[in-house]
Chains A and B, each alone.
Chain A
Amino acid sequence: MKVKAVLKGDRLYFTQRIVLKTSEVEVDVEVPDEAVQTVEPKGFSEELRSLFKKTPNAKVDWKRQWYKHLEEKYNG
C-alpha cells in the first residue's frame, strides 16, 4: 500500500489514518535529494562568532578594549 506522508523535522505525519495489524512495521521512505541538507552545519563557536556583525575577521584584543572602556567610564 502506498501512502502519502509529510516529513517535519525528524517526524513523519501521514495524510491519511492507518491502523496497523502489528505493533511495528519497518518502511522505506524516499526523501527528495533537494530537501536534504548536505552542507555540514557550523560548530557552536563558529555560529556564535558569525553573529558578531562588526568584527574584523581577525583576532580582537577584547581585554585591552574592556580595560579602556572601564577607564573611560569611571575616569571620566
Chain B
Amino acid sequence: MAKILVDINVLLDDFLNRDVVCKELIDKLVESQSELFITASMAATLDYFLNKYEADKSEFKRKFFGRFKIITTSGFDALKALDFEDGEDALISLSFQRAVGEGIIITNDKGFPSNSVKVLTPKEALKQQDIFNNENNKTIPILDLKKQYYYLIEDIDNAVLKNIADAKYILGSQVKELEDKIAGYIGVKHCIGMSSGTEALVLSLRALAIKLKGQEYFDKTDGIITTPFTFTATGDAVLRAGATPVFVDIDPITYNIDPAEIRECLKSEIQNPKSKIRGIIPVHLYGKPCNMDEIMDIAKEYNLFVLEDVAQAFGGTWRDKKLGSIGTAGTFSFFPSKNLGGFGDGGMVSTNDDELAELMRMLLKHGGKDKYNVDHIGYNARLDTLQAAILLAKFKFIDEFNAKRRSIAEVYNKELSGIGGLVLPGNNSTPQLSNSLTQYFTNVHVYHQYTIRVLNGKRDSLQKHLKEKGIDTMVYYPVPLHKMEVFDGRCRVNGGLKESEKAVKEVLSLPMEPLVGQETIMKVVETIKSHQ
C-alpha cells in the first residue's frame, strides 16, 4: 500500500479550480487503500481558502481528515529546509520523508525538491496503476504498527510533544488519568500503572504474599496454578514471587486453562503435605475469556486468589464483566503489539482490593510510601508518563479497534470454515445480540490473535507456504512452559499436559491488523486454500 503526500496545489486545483485531472486523481486515491497525507505546514493556505469561500469547516474537517492524515512539521525539518532554494516545499518533503520513509509526493510544482522521495505530477500519478492497485501489498505483516500510528498520528504527535514540553517524566498527571480512565472502563476501584505486564504480574504476586502470608515472598511450598500454554512471563513471575508454578492442562477448544483439570489438580494437591495451593492465574489467551464462572467457583471453594492475566485481552468480557474485574486482581500489558499497546513497555494492575492496591503502589516505588524510607523489598516499576500519554491517545480507539478485530475474525471464520485439516477458534464466546435495541455481548473475544489449528503435521509447511507468498504468521507458543529449562526442577505438573504439548505443534496465528481491508484478509484466505 502506497504512502502518498498530496500537495496543496493539487487539492486546491481539484476543489476550487475544478481541474478534471486532479479530481480524477483525488477520487481514485480516496477509493484506494493508499495512505494519504498532507503536512501541517499546508494548513495556512488551506485555511485561507476555507475562510474566503465560506466553507463549512467542521464538515470539511470531518470529511477531509477522515481520509487525509496530517504530518507534523518539526523545527528540525525547518532548520534543514532553510538550506534549500524553496524552503516551503523542502519542509514538506523533509517532514514527509521523516514520517513515512518511502513514499510518493504528488504535486503540480515543477521544481519540487524530492529529498529522495518519488515526486509525480497528477497526470503521471494517474498512469501509475500500482498506486491504486490494492493487491499491491508485497507482504502482509501479522500486525502493522506503523499503520496504526498514521491512523492516530495527530493525537499521538500531540501527546508526545506536549509530554516532552511538560517535563513531568515520572508519574506525571497522565499516569493517574490513564489509571482512572481504565479503572472506569474495566469497572474496578483501582488501576495501577506498571513498567510492563511482567512487572504487573510480579508485583501483584508479591503484594498477595505480603497480604496473605505477612512475608515478602511466597515460599517454594506455595503452589500457584496456571497454564503452561502462555507467554514465559506468566510462569516466570510465579518463580520471581518465590512460589512454585503448578501447570495444569488447557481445554483444546479454547486453549485456555481447563477448569476440570484445575479441580483434578486440587484434589491431588490436597493430599500433598509439602504443598499448599494459594491461587490460580488464568490467562485469557489470544484475547478469549477463560471460563471465569467455574474458576471463581473453584477459588471460592478452596479459598484461593485469582490473578487474571489479561495481557492479551484488553476490552474482553466474561458475562458482560470486563476481564480484569472478576478475579482478586488483573494484570495488563501495554507491549506495543497488544490490543492497547504503547510505544515501548508498559503494564497495569486492576483490583477492587484496597490493601493490595496500596501495597503495589509501594512496591513499584522501591517498596515504600516514601522512597527514602522503605518498608518492603521494592522495584522501580513505574509506568512512564510518556507511555501513559500515548496510551491515553490510543485508549479512545480501543473499542473501535477491538470491533475491527472481531470483523476480521468473522471474515476468517466464514471463509476458512469447512477446509479440511483446519480447526478454527472456538466460537462459544462470539458476540451475541440482545433482547433490546442496544448491542449486548455475553463473552467478548477481542482477538489479540486469530489462531488456527493445523492438523496432520502440516502446520510448518503451511507457515512456509504463506511466508513464500509474503504472508507473515506466528507460532504462539512453540514451547510449553514446563518444557523450558528455567522451569526444570522449579515447577510441578498436573497429569500429562497432553493438550498443551499438542497445541504447540499445531497452532498458527494469522495476520490480525485491525486497520487492513477485507481484500488483504481474503488474500490470506486464498493462500491458505491453495496449500496442498
Contacts and interface: CB of A to CB of B under 8 A. Distances in A.
B165 interface: no
Interface string A22-56: 01000000000000000000011101110111110
Nearest to A24: B414
Interface stretch (B11-19, B90-98, B287-295): B11-19
A59 B427 contact: no
A1 interface: no
B314 to A, nearest CB: 24
Contacts of A6: 437
A75 interface: no
A66 interface: yes
A51 B63 contact: yes
B435 A17 contact: yes
A51 B60 contact: yes
B60 A55 contact: no
B433 A13 contact: yes
Interface residues of B, number: 36
Nearest to B12: A62
B63 A66 contact: no
Contact of B16 (A14, A60, A69): A60
A52 B53 contact: yes
B17 A60 contact: yes
A62 B55 CA distance: 15
B437 A15 contact: yes
Contacts of A63: 9, 12
B26 A44 contact: yes
B48 interface: yes
Interface of B: 9, 12-19, 23, 26-27, 30-31, 45, 48-50, 52-56, 59-60, 63-64, 67, 427, 433-439
Interface of A: 6, 8, 11-18, 23, 43-45, 47-49, 51-55, 58-63, 65-66, 69
Closest 9 CB pairs of A and B: A17-B435, A60-B16, A52-B53, A44-B30, A54-B54, A53-B54, A45-B23, A54-B53, A62-B16
Given A53-B53, A55-B53, A58-B18, 16 more contacts: A6-B437, A8-B437, A13-B433, A15-B436, A16-B435, A17-B433, A23-B427, A45-B26, A45-B27, A47-B63, A48-B14, A49-B14, A52-B15, A52-B54, A53-B54, A62-B16
26 contacts: A8-B437, A13-B436, A15-B435, A16-B435, A17-B433, A23-B427, A43-B27, A44-B30, A44-B63, A44-B67, A45-B14, A45-B15, A45-B27, A47-B63, A48-B63, A49-B14, A51-B63, A53-B53, A59-B19, A60-B17, A61-B17, A62-B12, A62-B16, A62-B17, A63-B12, A69-B48
